[in-house]
Structure 1
């Protein structure tokens, strides 16, 4: 009798699907809720479905549960024509909270217009959500969000590695698309940071192993995508980012500071490729006078002293730059977004004590996502939401994801790629993102299907309101441009 009463209490309390009394998620669960939002000049209803879907082995045994949130607009009559955006974040151990609550989703983190935390913590409607033009699924890979390995004997290498991650997620997406009847929908992948490695590899894996063809891939603050850049090229490509960060903090000369940022960066990019790269490559063989002139110019473009640049043999590491740029004023600058300032124990040293931007982001995102999942989406569980989960050791070998994305584009004439990058991102900087594009397609045969968009913020450029407005507009434009006219064949 007592057990029966407890069971009825749980059902009536709404815990029949996702239980609060467990520390691991159910393998297969879902909670569905109804909402409204205004975007694109319209107010419309949408459905949010959040839950878990299993990962099986080859024999059908459940190994893990992958947590997702799926948003669909309610007044859509033909899902076959409705774009589906599949969203991943990075890490590789990071949940998909960042873009869900601050970029493309229907709810927006409560922050100020530049992206800094404010209280009370929480969220509001996102008037810039792309849900007006596309449905969205946010996927949390194993050990991120509420996703977990369920079989204690499961081989961790099936999940934690560049290529393993791509393989199991492609299989998982096949199941999701089949369950939700989205095979005929135009499909897009969007990934941020390590998520760009993930979606670049997925583009080819979905195409070759799941026979699922995409219309577009959006790379937000991309990694190196397995494209090698050791030696002189790695050292030289940092310079335009240094200029952008120095410009933002008004450390440059009045003449340079008065220039428009993007106009100045065009000049610095040319100097980097034409002067700095060959100078570093030549090492001690360079003419001393030529070397001194290049150091003077680098000093002007970064605000670092000629002495410091000479002492580093023209090779300024990013970690040293974050410490050095504002050292005289007692601040460090952020790694992922150099607009953010930090305070170290000592002004001396070679690198900052902590990442000022990341602590700021966790400050505002963590309470918001936990409150949102339970109170608005009705997902009630004792499983901890992992902002960052343990996915180590991560096997990074055989990363050919940039080449995979190029191959997918070559084999699929419908497939377009857009890169979005913030000028103040010092971890995955914008100039290296451009270099990716040049090296992925050195022939230029795919150039008309590749585009670059730069923004005046950092790694998560959408945290700044002006960039959120522009970046979501850019996504809408990209979706429209990459949706072929009815009956248009995929051929060269």
Structure 2
């Protein structure tokens, strides 16, 4: 996988994107064929979650989005888990979840964190190996406190365009958000849940999607008001992290993640006791002396440059000579390769705890991301096995864990400016939602070792005028982008999210 600096490529890599699914373009003869009814499977189950026995109904399959004349245009795929015996919908929350990419299916949150079953992989940042992979009961599922719907937007999972519909009609920040919002409204119609407490959440680009969908749900006259938005490994402001010449913000926002990574791999002299303490030190340096040095540019005095270089070496674990050669500006791709070069390893991107072995040690960047290829086989096997066997779904299509959904339209529908000149940032949507819905709260979960969506960048995006910090919770985990791959953090994440929902007064 090559690390690029284009905005689209950076965003596409936010979830573990290193694999391109096969192109599924249909011949005209197939496109003209009659569209069959949606494929759906309904099964009954019982499990123990959070120490509570729950009987629930699983519904997995397609929901058709239609035009004004009732013609099916696209199939959204979803899997919902609804507690049996519900008598009062106002007492039972419903949570809609998806992953990111933007070409990623919901397999990661579904089979890794919040579904009733999960796939077991090594918890200590090692390769998942070969099948069979254990698929076990997941007591950390959210089903004891909320019904859950996992959503796969068009082009992901089993979701796809129908007939002659061009899938590009759904491929864009605003287009995608509209389709997911339409699905949610239809699900509420079909299940009689309009007055239930509602939560919306996503991981990686799924956080972008969450905020954009909230904008579609709450920005209309027939609002769907939300109780909470759950942002896991958040990316809202793409401009601030765009690796382009002249943009100094990525160096500032990435530095604390470099520091926690160097701390984890024991490359920091006189280290503090914890990753959190390391992060606190690095934040202060990044926003203070380091930011000032970068903004001074060519006028930076030599003595100040030397002082900053020495401190930067401590926080990055890289030599002063290397930092001087890099002009005090180290892009993440180089950092992954340089930090452990002498040890014969590169670090992961999604989770820098992982170590990879490249073809040789001389490269500028890693050959691939060891934190993705170490887990992808297990998740792919798990979702296909679970949906087809446990949930009895008779689907001929292939489940797309991560697929090409491009070209993706990054320009927001209500944002001014010509294509290519727009600062892509959905954070203002979130600020507006908080200002216009006094009952809305936000959960933010970040991993210390995540470079796809660095924790300091997430903090920065929501530390702006127009946000109410008293309604935004930040939680941190001792893993990376998908913090739930570490067993301790799976339990912590689940407990934190459940507590967030219970604070709304209705989760139980």
Normalised by the length of structure 1, the TM-score is: 0.89
- Deviation of 1:120 after TM superposition, in Å, equals 2.7
Q: Cα deviation per residue 1:36-76 (whole Å; 9 max; x = unaligned)?
A: 22122222221111010001123321111111000012243
Question: What is the alpha-carbon distance in structure 2 between the residues aligned to residue 28 and residue 470 of structure 1?
Answer: 37
Report what 1:454 is aligned to: 476
1:39 to 35, 42, 49: 49
Displacement of 1:27: 4.9
Which residue in the other structure is 1:17 paired with? none
**1:142-168 deviations in Å (ceiling 9; x for gaps):** 11111111122x243320011111112
1:327 corresponds to 2:341: yes
Partner of 1:262: 276
Aligned length: 458
Q: Do structure 1's residue 471 and structure 2's residue 489 form an aligned pair?
A: no
Question: Which residue of the partner structure matches residue 129 of structure 1?
Answer: 141
Distance across 1 between alignment mates of 2:393 and 2:466: 49
Task: Say which SS state the counterpart of residue 471 (structure 1) adopts.
Answer: helix
Q: Where does 1:411-490 land on structure 2 (aligned, <5 Å)?
A: 411-439=436-464, 442=465, 446-483=468-505
**Shift in CA distance, 424/299, structure 1 to aligned 2, threshold 3 Å:** same
Of 364, 371, 382, 2:378 maps to: 364
Call closer, same or farther: CA 1:38–1:26 in 2, change over 3 Å.
farther
1:106 paired residue number: 116
CA distance in 1, matches of 2:375, 2:260: 21
SS at match of 2:234: coil
Q: CA deviation at 1:275?
A: 0.7
1-structure distance, mates of 2:87, 2:236: 40
SS state at 1:121 partner: coil
Deviates more, 1:446-455 or 1:37-46: 37-46
Q: Which residue of 2 aligns with 1:246?
A: 262
Offset, 1:263: 1.4
Assess if the C-alpha contact under 8 Å between 2:345 and 2:357 holds in 1.
yes
Deviation at 1:169, TM superposition (A): 1.5
State the partner residue of 1:234: 250
Gaps of 5+ in 2: 1-29, 413-423
Separation in 2, partners of 1:422, 1:113 = 15
C-alpha deviation, 1:309, in angstroms: 0.8
TM-score (norm 2): 0.87
Whether the 8 Å CA contact 1:54–1:63 is kept in 2: the answer is yes
Written as runs of structure 1 = structure 2, the 5 A alignment for 1:202-351 is 202-209=213-220, 210-226=222-238, 228=240, 231-253=247-269, 255-256=270-271, 258-351=272-365
Query: What is the CA–CA distance in structure 2 between the aligned matches of 1:123 and 1:484, rounded to whole Å?
Result: 31
Aligned pair 1:180/2:191, yes or no?
yes
CA gap of 1:353–1:395, structure 2 versus 1, over 3 A, is same
Q: Give how far 1:229 is off.
A: 5.5
Whether 2:154 is the aligned partner of 1:142: answer yes
Matched, 1:379 2:393: yes
Q: Provide the secondary structure at the position in 2 that maps to 1:237.
A: helix
Where structure 1 has 5 or more consecutive residues not aligned to the other structure, the ranges are 1-21, 486-492
Matched residue, 2:68: 58
Q: State the match for 1:160 in structure 2.
A: 171
Kindly indicate whether the alpha-carbon contact (under 8 Å) linking 1:227 and 1:436 is maintained by their aligned counterparts in 2. no
Pairwise CA RMSD of aligned residues? 1.9
